[in-house]
Amino acid sequence: MKETYFAKVKLRMGSLIGIFMLCSMFSNLYALPDDISRDVDVTLTKVTGKITSAVDGQPLPGATVMVKGTTKGVVSNFDGDYEIEVNDPANAVLKISFIGFKTIEIPVNNQSVINIALEEDNALLEEVVIVGYGQQKKATLTGAVEQVKAEVFEDRAVTNPALALQGETPGLVITRGSSRPGREGINMQIRGATSVNYKDNNGNLLPGAGPLIVIDGSPVIDDEAFYSLNPDDIESISVLKDGAASIYGSRASNGVILVTTKRGTSGKMTVNFTSNLRFNTIGIRPPTPTMQQYATVWLDGTDQDGVNAGYWGWRNRETLERMQSGEEGIYTTQYWGDIFIGNYPRFDDMYDTSVSNQQNLSLSGGTEKSKYRLSVGYSESVGNLQTAYDGKKQYNVRLNNDFTLSDKVKLETGISYFRSRLSSPSGGLGVTSISNDPPFFPAKNPFGQWYANFGVAGNRNSVANTIEGGRDESYADQLKMNIALSYDITNDLNFRATGSVDKEFWDQEVYKIRVPQYTWFGNLAPESVNSTSSFEKKKGNVTYQTYGAFLNYNKTLWNDHNFSVMAGTTAELRTTDDLRGYRQGFEDNGVYDLDVALLDQKVENSGGSSNWGLLSYVARFNYNYKNKYLLELTGRRDGSSKFHEDYRWSNFGGISAGWVLTEEPFLQNIDGLDFLKVRASYGEMGGQVGIKNHDYTSSMSLGTAVFGTTASNQTTAYVNGLTSLTRTWERIGMANYGWEIKMLDSKLSLTWDYFTKKNDGMLISVEYPQVLGGKAPKTNDGVLKVYGWEAVLSYKDQIGDFKYNVAFNIGDTKNRVTSMGGFSAYNAGLNGIVEGYPINSFFMYQTDGFFANEAEVQAYYDAYGNGGEIPDASNAAVRLRPGDTRKLDLDGDGKILGIGNNDEGNGDVKFMGDATPHYTFGLNLGFQYKNFDLSTLFQGALKQNVVRTGYLAYPFSTVWSNQTSEFLGRTWTEENPNAEYPRMSAHPGKAAWNWKNNDFMMLNNKYVRMKTLIVGYTLRDFKLGNMNFDKFRFYFSGNDLFEITKIKNGFDPEFGESTNSSYPFNRTYSLGLNVTF
The CATH number that applies at residue 48 is 2.60.40.1120
* Residue 626 CB-density burial (10 A; 0-12 exposed, 13-18 middle, 19+ buried): exposed
Q: Is 1065 inside a domain boundary?
A: no
Dmax (CA) for the chain in angstroms is: 113
614-635 per-position pLDDT tens digit: 999 999 999 999 889 999 999 9
By C-alpha distance, which of 632, 729, 727, 638 is closest to 683? Answer: 632
Q: Which residues of the chain have pLDDT under 50?
A: 1-41, 123-125
Q: Is 809 inside a domain boundary?
A: no
Q: Is 66 inside a domain boundary?
A: yes
pLDDT at 989: 93
pLDDT at 253: 83
d(CA 946, CA 913): 10
CA 124 from chain centre, in angstroms, equals 33
By C-alpha distance, which of 11, 18, 16, 23 is closest to 496? Answer: 16
Q: What is the DSSP letter of 36?
A: -
Q: Is 696 helix (H, G, I), strand (E, B) or coil?
A: coil
CB atoms within 10 A of CB 850: 22
What stretches of 98-249 show up as alpha helix (H) in DSSP? 122-125, 161-165, 224-227
Residue 776, CA atoms < 13 Å, CB-side half-sphere? 16
d(CA 1010, CA 923): 9
| pTM of the predicted structure, to 2 decimals | 0.85
- How far are the Cα atoms of 624, 955, 972, 1003 from residue 844, in angstroms, in the given order? 54, 19, 21, 12
pLDDT at 242: 85
pLDDT at 843: 96
pLDDT at 2: 40
d(CA 222, CA 245): 19
Q: Is 94 inside a domain boundary?
A: yes
By C-alpha distance, which of 138, 168, 175, 141 is closest to 153? Answer: 168
Q: Provide the domain count of the chain.
A: 1
d(CA 183, CA 817): 31
Residues 6+ apart with CB under 8 A from 849: 886
Polymer length in residues for the chain = 1077
* Residue 713 CB-density burial (10 A; 0-12 exposed, 13-18 middle, 19+ buried): exposed
pLDDT at 642: 87
The torsion angles phi and psi of 243, rounded to 5 degrees, stand at -60, -15
By C-alpha distance, which of 884, 1074, 861 is closest to 273? Answer: 1074
pLDDT at 761: 84
d(CA 905, CA 449): 61
Which residues, listed in sequence order, are joined to residue 808 by a DSSP beta bridge? Answer: 793, 923
The torsion angles phi and psi of 346, rounded to 5 degrees, stand at -65, -25
Quote the domain boundaries for residue 63: 44-124
Residues 6+ apart with CB under 8 A from 108: 45, 47, 86, 89, 90, 91, 92, 93, 94, 114
Q: Is 111 inside a domain boundary?
A: yes
- First and final CA of the chain: distance in angstroms? 57
Residues 6+ apart with CB under 8 A from 858: none
pLDDT at 5: 39
d(CA 164, CA 174): 10
Q: Is 977 helix (H, G, I), strand (E, B) or coil?
A: coil
By C-alpha distance, which of 284, 305, 314 is closest to 440? Answer: 314
By C-alpha distance, which of 357, 330, 352, 350 is closest to 342? Answer: 330
What stretches of 819-885 show up as alpha helix (H) in DSSP? 854-864
